[in-house]
Amino acid sequence: MFTGIVAGTGRLLAKRSAGGGLAFDLEAGFNLSDPVEGESIAVNGVCLTAYNIQGQKFTVDVSPESLSRTTLGKLSVGGEMNMERALQLSDRLGGHIVSGHVDCVASVRERQPKGDFTLFSFSFPAALSRYVIEKGSITIDGVSLTVNSCSDETFEVSIIPHTLQVTTLGLLKRGGKVNIEVDIIGKYVERLLTRNGSGAEPNVQGKGINSTFLAENGFF
């Protein structure tokens, strides 16, 4: 698990084919204190397993599934990406709960300066719109952000100068592609409300949410 508060950016040193996917050699732009072989590191919002850790350099494998759902396959050697180490139980949850499992790729529709801030508008698949709500959380290339407004196929976020400086979001231009992870809590709530323990389809219509329903669905 992650928080969407990136530790800093890193660089892609090399990429090569490996087992039907790709292997990346990466260098973090921050100190990897007490690194553990096999630990999880989010790269542009994608949870990957780090190995061959030497100082700030490490290797990750990117599966065909990750390549098909994210922008990682489009990264060029020398390119920058956002990085975050996995959450520890003692850490502050400064952003929101992020799994590192990307839901889709979105496109930058517009970038507008608003005083010291920058307003970004993104287009994304309508099928995911039910998980994106005004003032809710969303993860863009691994960065936890708050949704300003949204429709069935678009949403907007306002980004502060500090975030633009310490992440790759400052490099985004109109038409650029980003990895999106919607709020995982919304997906779990939907799942609980639309299926019962036997796997049957929706069973709450006309029943209402009461103490019996909450108990049957594990809330208490």
Rounded CA gap, 2 and 87, in Å?
5
In the numeric block, the tokens 């979105």 are attached to 106
Three-state secondary structure readout of 140-159 = ECCEEEEEEEECCCEEEEEE
Using an 8 Å Cβ cutoff, are 3 and 86 in contact?
no
Residue 43 tokens read as 């790269």
DSSP-based three-state secondary structure for 171: helix
119: nearest Cα among 90, 154, 85: 154
Residues in contact with 199: Cβ distance below 8 Å, sequence separation at least 6, in sequence order:
none
Using CA of residue 171, residue 175, residue 179, residue 180, what is the dihedral sign? positive
Residues in contact with 80: Cβ distance below 8 Å, sequence separation at least 6, in sequence order:
9, 10, 11, 168, 171
Using an 8 Å Cβ cutoff, are 69 and 100 in contact?
no
Q: According to the model, what pLDDT value does residue 137 have?
A: 96
pTM: 0.87
Domains in the chain: boundaries: 8-85, 104-185, 187-216
Q: According to the model, what pLDDT value does residue 21 have?
A: 97
46: nearest Cα among 76, 21, 67, 18: 67
Rounded CA gap, 121 and 147, in Å?
10
Which architecture, in CATH terms, is 104-185? Beta Barrel (2.40)
Q: According to the model, what pLDDT value does residue 204 have?
A: 47
| Fold annotation for 8-85 | Elongation Factor Tu (Ef-tu); domain 3 (2.40.30)
Q: Do domains 8-85 and 104-185 have the same CATH topology?
A: yes
Q: According to the model, what pLDDT value does residue 220 have?
A: 65
Residue 48 tokens read as 């990957």
179: nearest Cα among 119, 122, 96: 122
CA-angle at 14, arms to 50 and 3, nearest 5°: 40
Q: According to the model, what pLDDT value does residue 182 have?
A: 97
Mean pLDDT, 10 residues at a time, the chain of 220 residues: 94 96 96 89 98 96 97 97 92 92 98 96 96 97 98 97 96 97 92 67 54 71
Using CA of residue 33, residue 94, residue 48, residue 29, what is the dihedral sign? negative
Rounded CA gap, 55 and 212, in Å?
54
Residue 80 tokens read as 């920058």
Rounded CA gap, 14 and 12, in Å?
6
